[in-house]
Amino acid sequence: MIDMINTRAKLFLAALLSVCAVVTVTGCAAKKETTLKPPPPDANPEPQLATDIHERVKELSARAKEYSDGCNKLPGRNAQDDRAQTTQQFALLAQILPILNGPDMSGDFRQQLRIIESTRAQLASGTQDLSIEPTVDTGLRAAHRALAGINQRAFTADNPDIARSLDAMSAKVQELDGTADAIHRLIASQAFKNSAQTITQMSTALSGRLGQEQPK
Protein backbone atom coordinates (compact mmCIF):
# COMPACT_ATOMS: atom_id res chain seq x y z
CA MET A 1 0.00 0.00 0.00
CA ILE A 2 2.81 2.40 0.88
CA ASP A 3 4.57 1.58 -2.40
CA MET A 4 1.37 2.33 -4.31
CA ILE A 5 1.01 5.72 -2.57
CA ASN A 6 4.64 6.56 -3.27
CA THR A 7 4.17 5.61 -6.93
CA ARG A 8 1.09 7.82 -7.21
CA ALA A 9 2.92 10.69 -5.52
CA LYS A 10 5.82 10.35 -7.93
CA LEU A 11 3.48 10.32 -10.93
CA PHE A 12 1.63 13.40 -9.63
CA LEU A 13 4.91 15.23 -9.04
CA ALA A 14 6.17 14.36 -12.53
CA ALA A 15 2.94 15.58 -14.10
CA LEU A 16 3.09 18.81 -12.09
CA LEU A 17 6.67 19.47 -13.16
CA SER A 18 5.71 18.81 -16.79
CA VAL A 19 2.86 21.33 -16.63
CA CYS A 20 5.14 23.93 -15.02
CA ALA A 21 7.73 23.41 -17.74
CA VAL A 22 5.11 23.93 -20.48
CA VAL A 23 3.79 27.08 -18.82
CA THR A 24 7.32 28.44 -18.38
CA VAL A 25 8.25 27.79 -22.04
CA THR A 26 4.97 29.21 -23.31
CA GLY A 27 5.37 32.29 -21.13
CA CYS A 28 8.90 32.88 -22.38
CA ALA A 29 7.81 32.45 -25.98
CA ALA A 30 4.96 34.90 -25.53
CA LYS A 31 7.31 37.37 -23.84
CA LYS A 32 9.82 37.01 -26.63
CA GLU A 33 7.14 37.54 -29.26
CA THR A 34 5.89 40.67 -27.48
CA THR A 35 9.41 42.06 -27.24
CA LEU A 36 10.13 41.55 -30.94
CA LYS A 37 6.79 42.90 -32.16
CA PRO A 38 7.41 46.21 -34.00
CA PRO A 39 5.51 49.33 -32.89
CA PRO A 40 2.51 50.33 -35.02
CA PRO A 41 3.25 52.97 -37.67
CA ASP A 42 2.06 56.52 -37.19
CA ALA A 43 -1.15 56.75 -39.23
CA ASN A 44 -0.96 60.55 -39.44
CA PRO A 45 2.67 61.70 -39.37
CA GLU A 46 3.34 65.33 -38.63
CA PRO A 47 4.06 67.54 -41.67
CA GLN A 48 7.74 68.44 -41.75
CA LEU A 49 8.07 72.23 -41.56
CA ALA A 50 11.25 74.26 -41.64
CA THR A 51 12.02 75.70 -38.22
CA ASP A 52 12.98 79.10 -39.65
CA ILE A 53 9.97 81.24 -40.61
CA HIS A 54 11.87 82.84 -43.50
CA GLU A 55 12.62 79.42 -44.98
CA ARG A 56 8.98 78.39 -44.60
CA VAL A 57 7.74 81.50 -46.39
CA LYS A 58 10.31 81.02 -49.15
CA GLU A 59 9.11 77.44 -49.63
CA LEU A 60 5.49 78.63 -49.56
CA SER A 61 6.14 81.16 -52.32
CA ALA A 62 7.64 78.49 -54.58
CA ARG A 63 4.85 75.97 -53.91
CA ALA A 64 2.16 78.64 -54.36
CA LYS A 65 3.51 79.50 -57.80
CA GLU A 66 3.66 75.82 -58.75
CA TYR A 67 0.09 75.38 -57.57
CA SER A 68 -1.14 78.43 -59.46
CA ASP A 69 0.56 77.25 -62.65
CA GLY A 70 -1.09 73.85 -62.25
CA CYS A 71 -4.52 75.39 -61.74
CA ASN A 72 -4.10 77.28 -65.01
CA LYS A 73 -3.82 73.91 -66.79
CA LEU A 74 -7.30 72.91 -65.60
CA PRO A 75 -9.59 71.63 -66.89
CA GLY A 76 -7.46 68.99 -68.56
CA ARG A 77 -7.61 68.07 -72.24
CA ASN A 78 -9.70 65.00 -71.38
CA ALA A 79 -10.96 63.15 -68.32
CA GLN A 80 -7.73 61.24 -67.81
CA ASP A 81 -5.51 64.30 -68.11
CA ASP A 82 -7.80 66.28 -65.83
CA ARG A 83 -7.68 63.53 -63.20
CA ALA A 84 -3.87 63.43 -63.26
CA GLN A 85 -3.57 67.21 -62.91
CA THR A 86 -6.23 67.33 -60.19
CA THR A 87 -4.34 64.65 -58.26
CA GLN A 88 -1.19 66.77 -58.42
CA GLN A 89 -3.07 69.85 -57.20
CA PHE A 90 -4.30 68.02 -54.12
CA ALA A 91 -0.74 66.79 -53.48
CA LEU A 92 0.45 70.41 -53.56
CA LEU A 93 -2.38 71.49 -51.27
CA ALA A 94 -1.22 68.90 -48.73
CA GLN A 95 2.20 70.63 -48.76
CA ILE A 96 1.01 74.24 -48.89
CA LEU A 97 -1.66 74.27 -46.19
CA PRO A 98 0.63 73.22 -43.29
CA ILE A 99 3.11 75.94 -44.26
CA LEU A 100 0.34 78.54 -44.31
CA ASN A 101 -1.07 77.35 -41.02
CA GLY A 102 2.22 76.92 -39.15
CA PRO A 103 3.13 74.25 -36.62
CA ASP A 104 0.22 74.95 -34.23
CA MET A 105 -2.46 72.80 -35.90
CA SER A 106 -5.97 72.42 -34.51
CA GLY A 107 -7.87 69.15 -34.62
CA ASP A 108 -10.21 70.53 -37.29
CA PHE A 109 -7.28 71.59 -39.48
CA ARG A 110 -5.67 68.16 -39.17
CA GLN A 111 -8.96 66.58 -40.22
CA GLN A 112 -9.07 68.72 -43.37
CA LEU A 113 -5.50 67.69 -44.19
CA ARG A 114 -6.43 64.03 -43.80
CA ILE A 115 -9.37 64.48 -46.17
CA ILE A 116 -7.17 66.20 -48.76
CA GLU A 117 -4.54 63.48 -48.56
CA SER A 118 -7.23 60.81 -48.80
CA THR A 119 -8.63 62.58 -51.87
CA ARG A 120 -5.22 62.61 -53.50
CA ALA A 121 -4.69 58.91 -52.73
CA GLN A 122 -8.09 57.88 -54.09
CA LEU A 123 -7.58 59.83 -57.31
CA ALA A 124 -4.11 58.37 -57.75
CA SER A 125 -4.99 54.73 -57.09
CA GLY A 126 -8.69 54.37 -57.89
CA THR A 127 -9.99 52.62 -60.98
CA GLN A 128 -10.49 54.79 -64.03
CA ASP A 129 -14.04 53.45 -64.44
CA LEU A 130 -15.38 55.02 -61.23
CA SER A 131 -16.71 58.56 -61.12
CA ILE A 132 -14.32 60.94 -59.38
CA GLU A 133 -16.77 63.82 -58.93
CA PRO A 134 -17.75 63.04 -55.29
CA THR A 135 -14.10 62.58 -54.32
CA VAL A 136 -13.05 65.88 -55.89
CA ASP A 137 -16.00 67.68 -54.28
CA THR A 138 -15.02 66.37 -50.84
CA GLY A 139 -11.40 67.42 -51.30
CA LEU A 140 -12.30 70.92 -52.48
CA ARG A 141 -14.66 71.43 -49.55
CA ALA A 142 -11.91 70.39 -47.15
CA ALA A 143 -9.47 72.77 -48.87
CA HIS A 144 -11.93 75.64 -48.56
CA ARG A 145 -12.55 74.96 -44.87
CA ALA A 146 -8.81 74.77 -44.19
CA LEU A 147 -8.11 78.03 -46.03
CA ALA A 148 -11.06 79.77 -44.36
CA GLY A 149 -9.76 78.73 -40.96
CA ILE A 150 -6.28 80.00 -41.76
CA ASN A 151 -7.74 83.29 -42.99
CA GLN A 152 -9.78 83.74 -39.84
CA ARG A 153 -6.76 83.15 -37.62
CA ALA A 154 -4.12 85.10 -39.51
CA PHE A 155 -5.37 87.41 -42.28
CA THR A 156 -8.90 88.75 -41.75
CA ALA A 157 -7.82 91.98 -40.09
CA ASP A 158 -5.44 93.25 -42.76
CA ASN A 159 -6.43 91.63 -46.08
CA PRO A 160 -10.14 91.66 -47.02
CA ASP A 161 -9.30 90.53 -50.59
CA ILE A 162 -8.55 87.05 -49.27
CA ALA A 163 -12.09 86.75 -47.92
CA ARG A 164 -13.49 87.70 -51.32
CA SER A 165 -11.39 85.02 -53.03
CA LEU A 166 -12.62 82.48 -50.48
CA ASP A 167 -16.23 83.51 -51.09
CA ALA A 168 -15.72 82.98 -54.83
CA MET A 169 -14.24 79.55 -54.15
CA SER A 170 -17.14 78.64 -51.87
CA ALA A 171 -19.66 79.62 -54.55
CA LYS A 172 -17.95 77.40 -57.13
CA VAL A 173 -17.73 74.47 -54.72
CA GLN A 174 -21.47 74.75 -54.11
CA GLU A 175 -22.09 74.76 -57.87
CA LEU A 176 -20.43 71.34 -58.13
CA ASP A 177 -23.44 69.59 -56.61
CA GLY A 178 -25.38 67.69 -59.25
CA THR A 179 -22.86 68.25 -62.06
CA ALA A 180 -20.76 65.65 -63.88
CA ASP A 181 -18.25 65.08 -66.65
CA ALA A 182 -17.08 68.16 -68.59
CA ILE A 183 -19.30 70.63 -66.71
CA HIS A 184 -18.03 69.35 -63.37
CA ARG A 185 -14.41 69.57 -64.53
CA LEU A 186 -14.94 73.16 -65.65
CA ILE A 187 -16.50 74.30 -62.37
CA ALA A 188 -13.91 72.41 -60.34
CA SER A 189 -11.15 74.14 -62.30
CA GLN A 190 -12.68 77.50 -61.39
CA ALA A 191 -12.78 76.51 -57.71
CA PHE A 192 -9.11 75.50 -57.93
CA LYS A 193 -8.24 78.85 -59.52
CA ASN A 194 -10.04 80.68 -56.69
CA SER A 195 -8.06 78.64 -54.17
CA ALA A 196 -4.83 79.48 -56.02
CA GLN A 197 -5.70 83.17 -55.85
CA THR A 198 -6.35 82.81 -52.12
CA ILE A 199 -3.05 81.02 -51.53
CA THR A 200 -1.11 83.56 -53.59
CA GLN A 201 -2.67 86.43 -51.62
CA MET A 202 -1.80 84.75 -48.33
CA SER A 203 1.74 84.02 -49.50
CA THR A 204 2.20 87.61 -50.64
CA ALA A 205 0.91 88.92 -47.31
CA LEU A 206 3.29 86.70 -45.35
CA SER A 207 6.23 87.66 -47.56
CA GLY A 208 5.34 91.31 -47.09
CA ARG A 209 5.38 90.92 -43.34
CA LEU A 210 8.89 89.47 -43.57
CA GLY A 211 10.10 91.78 -46.31
CA GLN A 212 10.65 88.94 -48.78
CA GLU A 213 10.18 89.15 -52.52
CA GLN A 214 7.80 86.77 -54.31
CA PRO A 215 9.31 84.53 -57.04
CA LYS A 216 8.71 85.73 -60.59
Instruction: Verify that 2 and 78 share a domain, yes or no.
Output: no
Residue 189's pLDDT band, with cuts at 50, 70 and 90, is: very high
Domain count, the chain: 2
Residue 2's pLDDT band, with cuts at 50, 70 and 90, is: very low
- Domain around 26: 1-37
Q: What is the largest CA-CA distance in the chain?
A: 105
Instruction: Verify that 205 and 99 share a domain, yes or no.
Output: yes
**Whether the predicted pLDDT of 9 surpasses 70:** no
Structure confidence by residue, pLDDT tens digits, 13-49: 454 444 344 434 444 444 333 333 444 434 444 556 6
- Across the range 158-173, mean pLDDT stands at 95
- Is residue 95 a contact partner of residue 63, using CB atoms and an 8 Å limit? yes
**DSSP classification of residue 103:** S
Instruction: Verify that 132 and 179 share a domain, yes or no.
Output: yes
Instruction: Verify that 63 and 149 share a domain, yes or no.
Output: yes
Instruction: Verify that 27 and 85 share a domain, yes or no.
Output: no
- Is residue 176 a contact partner of residue 187, using CB atoms and an 8 Å limit? yes
| CA dist., res. 150 & res. 145, Å (int) | 9
> Is residue 43 assigned to a domain?
no
> Is residue 106 assigned to a domain?
yes
> Is residue 215 assigned to a domain?
no
- Across the range 93-106, mean pLDDT stands at 95
Residue type (1 letter), 42 = D
What is the pTM for the complete model shown? 0.75
| CA dist., res. 116 & res. 138, Å (int) | 8
Give the per-residue pLDDT at 129.
77
> Is residue 170 assigned to a domain?
yes
State the DSSP string of 133-193.
Answer: HHHHHHHHHHHHHHHHHHHHHHTTTT-HHHHHHHHHHHHHHHHTTT--HHHHHHHHHHHHH
Instruction: Verify that 122 and 27 share a domain, yes or no.
Output: no
